Structure 1
Amino acid sequence: MKKIKQKLNYFDFYLFVPYLLLCIIGIVMVYSASSINLSYAGMTTNFYLLRQMLYVFLGLICFFIASLMRLELLTSKKFIIYGFGILALLLVYAKFMTKAVNGANGWINFKIFSLQPSELCKLYLVIFVAQLLAYREQLALQNSLQTASRKPWLLVALLLLLILMEPDLGGFAINFMIVLVMYLASQATYKSLGRAFLLLGGFFASVVVVISGLRFWNPLAGTKYNYMYSRLTAFYNPFKVAASSGQQLINSYYAISNGGLFGLGLGNSIQKRGYLPEAYTDFIMAIISEELGVVGIAVILILISWLTLRIFLIGIRSKNNYQTLVCYGIGTFFAVETFFNLGAVTGLLPITGVTFPFVSYGGSSMLVLSITLGIAMNISMRQRRMRLVGRNH
């Protein structure tokens, strides 16, 4: 207990306060977005409220455990090996042993709660990839003739492939971007960075061309993956398929339009009354826009932006390369997930089912995000302790 109290002396409230505020906003808005439809269905209106409160409570516990634990535990061979084995088994089980939800086998239902293995992969890949890149740079600094093995990268590729096979395109994209940004951050030369960005630009250009061509030809017709093509159709012209796949995006537009600058007031959303499906999950920002307006959205974006930039700043200040890369991975996780969610809500990106960090309803997301933030807090507390020790000497 004495050591814990000593560690808490270096607590970073610049990380904790935005996190706590986002969780509180999430609890309020999950209740606002879900209660009316629950009452229509004859269920208790606080069903999702109580669950979200439980997820936040468990998330806080995970946050404090991660912020106080020894980081060396995350770099142990047992953690890496067992972590990979468990995640691979969970992904395979989700793919072949569960029923598809919205066309994807991405969830494992334990009755008490549902687990999404691709969420756990985000945390694991941040830790694993940071270790691989830090070891490679350590060998380079030592001018060692030994080269880092490329075999561990096959494990990274296998996890990404298993996520893609579910298929969970949103989860795959976020995990892929985490790995990519961490890899680019570890590159020391502008030449290698420029080459990487050119390759990335070419990749995205190719994806845009392929997706554009899919408007005129549906290769998934008659298959169980036809829902993916429907989402692309809704992305290009949601009003053309307003009665089916375009319904969610159209009602999101209506919600944003209704909200204006200051919103209709908390609890007064129209679109949550049976028009916008599952408004408390990945489209909760549309309801927030309708009830709290641009001002409410701006407050939330300021909080998540502050949190993300703070994590990147902690990484920049760190003198430990592994810790720097971990912070870059966590910051990328938060930034990309936020971008994907807002992109889907506003129609800038296809709908992928990605939730908004700490605000949308969801247990797996809340716990994983809280643990990753706890790791960033752990690194920040170490930095503060080192700075104070340095001043005293």
Structure 2
Amino acid sequence: MAKKKRGIKKNVRQVFQYYDYNLLVSVILLTCFGLIMLYSSSAYSAQIKFRDDMYYFTKQAAISAFCLVAVIVGSQIDYHILTRNFAGWLYLIANILLFLTKFIGTELNGAKRWIYFGPVSFQPAEMAKVAIILFLPTLIVKMGKNMRTWPAFFTVLIAGGVTSFLTYVFTDNLSTAIIIAGITVGLLFIVFPDSRPFVAGVILVAVVAIAVVWYVKGSVTSDSFRLRRVQVWLNPEANSSVGGYQVMQGLYAIGSGGFFGKGLGNSLQKLDYVPEAQNDMIFTIICEELGLFGAIMLTILFAFMLYRLFFIAQNAPDLLGSLIASGIFIHIALQVVLNIAVVTNVIPTTGITLPFISYGGTSIVFLMAEMALALSVSKRIRFKDQEA
């Protein structure tokens, strides 16, 4: 008599390829929101300067549309190929361009940070951020287990410190130098097992900051541009003629918006009360027109993007991918926090844009390059699903 065959359940593990569409959607939403607010904040000044109220919007929209397509295409490229073939060269070229900016750069708004190649212009400092995000993870992975040693720690610290130093000294861009230093320290914190140097660094920075504030409060005036900014931060009303005007007008815009704002397009401060409102101070116009509600919604969008970057870093297939995603996370987080802190006068004024929102073609190009890298890492993630 034939034996009855009994059904035996076997566990079958299926491997699924992943692609973080959530991150892509957050990029698209932030870009679209940024374009809307860019037009709203810049239409008046563009009409006055160029007799075209869509001047800034048209340029930014064209670059953004091209970059979004490039992100989708570029994310299909394996990030290992990029790091293996381009990380070192990009780091070297970025540092050389930072050095040359002081000698061949074009001065705009009192700062020499732009290099022109015919009709094309860009800021090497923006390239330096991407170069650091690619190069330092590559360097850390190559060191392997040696990364636990002090010589390796200082090697990475010096590599990031050189770029930060060149950014500050040769382009006079303190905010970007701080961000590059923050990315370097953040990546070291992730891979280095000893927390003592980071604690000592935080204490040192706090002591220096307190000493500077104490010195500035005790002095009547200062010839230093940086120290004058601290004076403006401490008392913007008394220093309205040397930088406090922009801060005060920005705070007026934020305060007058209330919870739901005056309505899209109804800002008064963008009528040349807040200079260059479409750049660093665009968050103040968002608060005035969309109120606290709009500011919260924007913050949630940024938080969602950072969450997706954190998710990619956690689930990356290797340390290299995890560090690249972590570097992008640190960059976006620092830039968002610093911009909002500046426009709300929590910290002294420094020229730093709001990612995906502020006007700037170079900024958009390299931010999108970072998003392409993050999506490339996400595409190599593999999840296993167990079925009965």
TM-score with structure 2 setting the length: 0.88
The match for 1:387 is 383
Structure 1 Cα separation of the partners of residues 140 and 163 of structure 2 = 18
The answer to whether residue 127 in structure 2 is matched with residue 125 in structure 1 is no
Structure 1 Cα separation of the partners of residues 285 and 254 of structure 2 = 8
The match for 2:284 is 286
More strand by proportion, 1 or 2? 2
The 8 Å contact of residues 222 and 228 in structure 2, kept in 1 or not, is answered as no
Letter in structure 2 aligned against 1:265: G
Structure 2 Cα separation of the partners of residues 335 and 150 of structure 1 = 24
Deviation at 1:236, TM superposition (A): 1.1
Which runs of 5 or more structure 1 residues have no equivalent in the other structure?
Answer: 1-7
The match for 1:5 is none
CA pair 159-82 structure 1, distance change in 2 beyond 3 A: same
Structure 1 Cα separation of the partners of residues 374 and 218 of structure 2 = 46
Structure 1 Cα separation of the partners of residues 48 and 218 of structure 2 = 40
The match for 2:47 is 39
CA pair 273-149 structure 1, distance change in 2 beyond 3 A: closer
The match for 2:175 is 170
Structure 2 Cα separation of the partners of residues 140 and 50 of structure 1 = 47
Quote the sequence identity (%): 27
Structure 2 Cα separation of the partners of residues 58 and 272 of structure 1 = 28
Deviation at 1:367, TM superposition (A): 1.1
Moved more, 278-287 or 33-42: 33-42
The match for 1:182 is 187
The match for 1:161 is 165
Letter in structure 1 aligned against 2:383: R
Q: 1:3-41 deviations in whole A, cap 9, x for unaligned?
A: xxxxx9743221011111110011111111011122234
The 8 Å contact of residues 18 and 383 in structure 2, kept in 1 or not, is answered as no
Aligned length: 371
Matching residue within 364, 367, 376 for 1:366: 364
The 8 Å contact of residues 39 and 56 in structure 2, kept in 1 or not, is answered as yes
Structure 1 Cα separation of the partners of residues 372 and 180 of structure 2 = 19
Structure 1 Cα separation of the partners of residues 110 and 387 of structure 2 = 59
Structure 2 Cα separation of the partners of residues 133 and 107 of structure 1 = 31
Structure showing greater radius of gyration is: 2
Deviation at 1:154, TM superposition (A): 3.9
The alignment partner of 1:108 has SS state of: strand
Which runs of 5 or more structure 2 residues have no equivalent in the other structure?
Answer: 1-15
The alignment partner of 1:100 has SS state of: strand
Structure 1 Cα separation of the partners of residues 109 and 225 of structure 2 = 8
Structure 1 Cα separation of the partners of residues 118 and 278 of structure 2 = 20
CA pair 55-45 structure 1, distance change in 2 beyond 3 A: same
Structure 2 Cα separation of the partners of residues 214 and 100 of structure 1 = 29
Structure 2 Cα separation of the partners of residues 111 and 297 of structure 1 = 39
| Pairing of 1:1-393 with structure 2 (within 5 A) | 10-41=18-49, 43-76=51-84, 78-110=85-117, 112-139=119-146, 154-165=158-169, 166-188=171-193, 192-217=194-219, 221=223, 226-383=224-381, 386-388=382-384
Structure 1 Cα separation of the partners of residues 107 and 139 of structure 2 = 34
Moved more, 262-271 or 48-57: 48-57
Deviation at 1:368, TM superposition (A): 1.1
CA pair 151-295 structure 1, distance change in 2 beyond 3 A: closer
Structure 2 Cα separation of the partners of residues 206 and 153 of structure 1 = 20
Deviation at 1:83, TM superposition (A): 1.5
The 8 Å contact of residues 157 and 185 in structure 2, kept in 1 or not, is answered as no
Structure 2 Cα separation of the partners of residues 194 and 150 of structure 1 = 14
The match for 1:3 is none
Deviation at 1:379, TM superposition (A): 1.2
Moved more, 32-41 or 298-307: 32-41
Q: 1:37-83 deviations in whole A, cap 9, x for unaligned?
A: 2223461110001011012113213312331112122222x523322
The alignment partner of 1:24 has SS state of: helix
The alignment partner of 1:243 has SS state of: helix
The 8 Å contact of residues 153 and 188 in structure 2, kept in 1 or not, is answered as no
Q: What RMSD over aligned residues (CA atoms) do the two structures have, in Å?
A: 2.5
Deviation at 1:349, TM superposition (A): 1.2
